[in-house]
Amino acid sequence: MYYNSGRIVLISFLVALFTSIIVCGAFFFVLPRLQEDTVVPDLLGSSPEQARAIVEARGLLLIVGGEEKSDQYAANLICRQTPLPGSIVSNKSSVTIFISQGSQYVVVPDLSGIGLSEATVKLSGLGLAIGEVRSEEHATIEADKIIKTIPEVGSEIKRDERITIILSRGVETSEVPRCVGKSLSTAKRLIVDSGFAVGNVTWEVSTEFNVGIIMRQSPRAGTMARRGSNVDLVVATVLE
């Protein structure tokens, strides 16, 4: 009986000793290890300054890996990090962040009515550039001002794309030729050769001009008119 009791006491003592060893081992070996590890914080959407304060408070180091375009995060905010948020890393590990340059897509601005130099500055601020420049006549937009763009205003395009500019030449004018006193065929040739079109041709009785001779014209000879516009003629005839 005393033998069994002593045996029970011995076993209890050994169990307690073994448990103590395990607990002490955990305390001396596992706990320090846990204290050396930390969870990587979520830095996405934060400014670099905010991120540095958060990271250093956890005993980590912050590294700026560079900049990249992001449709999700505004310019100058953190758009990517490594390791990922929630990762377990050792103390004094580094966290690399990448700063957003803003969306890779921009909206084409309205450049109508402004010159090339102003348009260049405006596009540059959006990460765009002028590509091909074409010109065409325009009745209301003065020469050397922008009529429109390709793609058109309001279109969503990627940064770094080039915009085609349609520039106004204004209204091209020429001097209206003198047709009065000329035959109808000669007058028509003069009009076309001068860059105009033959407009209305009417006949009126005249005692001053011979039949088939131009007696009046509109616009008058010597005036400046838009190229391609009409020149109307009045041709002399006789009363039948």
Judge contact between 214 and 198, C-beta under 8 A: no
**Model pLDDT, residue 26:** 47
Coil, strand or helix at 118: helix
Q: In this predicted model, what pLDDT tens digit does every residue of 88-120 receive, in sequence order?
A: 999 999 999 999 988 888 899 999 999 999 999
Task: Calculate the average pLDDT of the chain.
Answer: 88
- pLDDT at 129 exceeding the cut of 70: yes
Q: What angle do CA 205, 210, 215 make, to 5 degrees?
A: 65
Q: What is the pTM of this model?
A: 0.49
pLDDT exceeding 90 applies to what percent of the chain? 70
pLDDT at position 30, please? 46
The confidence score (pLDDT) of residue 16 equals 63
- Stretch among 12-21, 123-132, 181-190 having the lowest mean pLDDT: 12-21
Classify 122 as helix, strand or coil.
helix
Which H helix or E strand runs over 59?
none
Backbone CA torsion sign across 193, 195, 201, 204: negative
Query: Which residues are CB-neighbours of 130 under 8 A, at least 6 positions away?
Result: 116, 119, 120, 123, 162, 163, 165
pLDDT value at residue 177: 97
- Please check the confidence at residue 172 and state whether its pLDDT lies above 90: no
Question: What are the tens digits of pLDDT across the range 29-47?
Answer: 444 444 579 999 999 999 9
Distance in angstroms (rounded) separating the CA atoms of residues 36 and 42? 19
Top mean-pLDDT range of 16-20, 26-30, 58-62, 171-175: 58-62
Q: Is the pLDDT of residue 1 over 90?
A: no
So what's the pLDDT on residue 199? 97
